[in-house]
C-alpha cells in the first residue's frame, strides 16, 4: 500500500513517534502533574447529522467520556477536567436539561465501581444547589467512595461558570468588601492580579469546531496551551486525545520567558554563560 501524507498513520522517518498509550513516558512527555481540560462540544450536531434527537448525541457523548477517562492515565494525564454542563446551559429546553441531569446520574451509578477499581478519584466542580437533590446525593456518594483514587483525578464541571467560581472564591476572603454583586465585581477585577493557587490547566482541548472558552476555567487556564479540533465530541477517540497530547509535548511553553536552548537552558542563561569569565 502506498501511504500518503493524508493517511493519519503516516509519518516521515524523522518525525517524532506519535503519542500513544505506552510510549508517552518514552517520549519525555511524562511529568509529575499534567492537567488536561476538555470542552466537550458537538453532541447536538453529531446527532442532527444522523437525523437523531439531540439526546442521542449526549448518550454517545457519555460513551466518549468513558473512553477518554480510561485512556487518560496511560497518556500521563494526572488531572482531567470535563465541562459537562455550564451555568448557561440552564437556558436550554427543559426536556434537554432534564435528560442531561438524568444522564449524569445514570453514568455516576453505572461508573462508580469501575472508577473505584481503576483508582480514579472523582470530584464535581460547580454549584450544587440548583441541580436535582438525587444527583447531589449521588455525587457526594461517588466522591466519597473514590476519594482514595490516585491514578487520575477526574473533575466534572456541572452548573459551572468560571466567573461565578472566581466571585465565590474571592467572596470567601473578602469580609467587609462592598455588599452588592456589582460593587464586588468591581473590587475583584482590581484584586484579581494577585497570584492564585495552582490547579493550572496545561492543555485545554475543545471539540466540535468552535474556538472559544465559554466561561471555563478562566483563572486556571492563564498559561494553558489551547487545542481545537473539528471532531464532534461523540467521535472523540483515544487516538484524538493522543494527538492532542502529542501536539502539546511539541510546544515550547515559555510563560513569558525566553526560548529554551540545548540542555533546557534559556537563551539568556546561555548568553550569561558565554559572558562569564
Binding footprint of ligand FPP on the chain (CB under 6 A): 40-45, 58, 61-62, 65, 82, 84-85, 89, 100, 103-104, 107, 156, 208, 233
* Residue of this chain nearest to ligand FPP (CB atom): 44
Q: Residue 19 or residue 82: which is nearer to ligand FPP going by CB?
A: 82
For residue 68, give the nearest of 111, 4, 99 by alpha carbon. Answer: 111
User: CB within 8 A of 159, min separation 6: which ones?
Assistant: 85, 86, 87, 90, 126, 127, 128, 130, 131
41 noted as active-site residue: yes
**Residue that the C-alpha cell 502529542 belongs to:** 246
How many CA atoms are closer than 13 Å to the CA of 133, on its beta-carbon side?
Answer: 0
For residue 181, give the nearest of 164, 196, 161, 194 by alpha carbon. Answer: 164
Q: Residue 45 or residue 145: which is nearer to ligand FPP going by CB?
A: 45
DSSP state of 17: P
Nearest distance, CB of residue 119 and ligand FPP, angstroms: 18
Which listed residue (41, 159, 202, 240) is catalytic?
41
Q: Residue 184 or residue 228: which is nearer to ligand FPP going by CB?
A: 228
Q: Residue 37 or residue 65: which is nearer to ligand FPP going by CB?
A: 65
Nearest distance, CB of residue 108 and ligand FPP, angstroms: 8
Nearest distance, CB of residue 33 and ligand FPP, angstroms: 22
Nearest distance, CB of residue 256 and ligand FPP, angstroms: 33
Q: Residue 98 or residue 257: which is nearer to ligand FPP going by CB?
A: 98
Nearest distance, CB of residue 88 and ligand FPP, angstroms: 10
Q: Where are the beta strands (DSSP E) in 40-109?
A: 79-86
For residue 242, give the nearest of 33, 74, 13, 30 by alpha carbon. Answer: 74
Strand duo 152-160 + 203-206: pairing: unpaired
Which listed residue (23, 32, 89, 215) is catalytic?
89
Dihedral sign, Cα of residue 142, residue 138, residue 207, residue 169: negative
User: Rounded to whole angstroms, what are the CA distances from 79 to 14, 27, 91, 152, 200?
Assistant: 31, 19, 29, 6, 10
Which residues are tagged catalytic?
A: 41, 89
Amino acid at each position: 500500500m502506498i501511504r500518503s501524507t493524508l493517511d493519519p498513520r503516516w509519518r516521515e522517518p524523522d518525525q517524532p513517534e506519535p503519542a500513544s498509550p505506552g510510549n508517552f513516558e518514552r517520549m519525555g512527555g511524562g511529568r509529575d502533574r499534567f492537567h488536561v481540560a476538555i470542552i466537550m462540544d458537538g453532541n447536538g450536531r453529531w446527532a442532527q447529522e444522523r437525523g437523531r434527537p439531540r439526546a442521542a448525541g449526549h448518550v454517545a457523548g457519555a460513551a466518549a467520556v468513558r473512553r477518554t477517562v480510561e485512556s487518560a492515565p496511560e497518556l500521563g494525564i494526572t488531572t482531567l477536567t470535563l465541562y459537562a454542563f455550564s451555568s448557561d446551559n440552564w437556558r436550554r429546553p427543559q426536556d434537554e436539561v432534564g435528560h442531561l441531569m438524568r444522564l449524569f446520574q445514570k453514568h455516576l451509578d453505572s461508573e462508580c465501581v469501575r472508577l473505584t477499581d481503576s483508582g480514579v478519584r472523582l470530584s464535581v466542580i460547580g454549584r450544587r444547589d440548583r441541580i436535582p437533590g438525587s444527583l447531589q446525593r449521588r455525587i457526594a456518594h461517588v466522591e466519597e467512595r473514590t476519594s482514595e483514587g490516585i491514578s487520575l483525578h477526574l473533575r466534572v464541571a456541572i452548573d459551572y461558570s468560571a466567573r461565578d467560581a472566581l466571585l465565590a472564591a474571592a467572596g470567601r476572603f473578602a469580609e467587609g468588601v462592598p455588599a452588592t454583586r456589582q460593587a464586588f465585581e468591581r473590587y475583584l477585577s482590581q484584586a484579581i492580579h494577585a497570584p492564585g493557587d495552582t490547579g493550572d490547566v496545561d492543555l485545554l482541548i475543545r471539540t466540535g469546531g468552535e474556538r472559544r472558552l465559554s466561561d471555563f476555567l478562566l483563572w486556571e487556564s492563564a498559561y494553558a496551551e489551547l487545542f481545537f479540533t473539528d471532531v464532534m465530541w461523540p467521535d472523540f477517540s483515544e487516538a484524538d486525545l493522543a494527538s492532542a497530547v502529542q501536539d502539546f509535548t511539541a510546544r515550547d511553553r515559555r510563560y513569558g520567558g525566553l526560548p529554551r536552548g540545548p540542555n533546557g537552558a534559556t537563551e539568556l542563561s546561555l548568553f550569561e554563560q558565554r559572558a562569564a569569565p
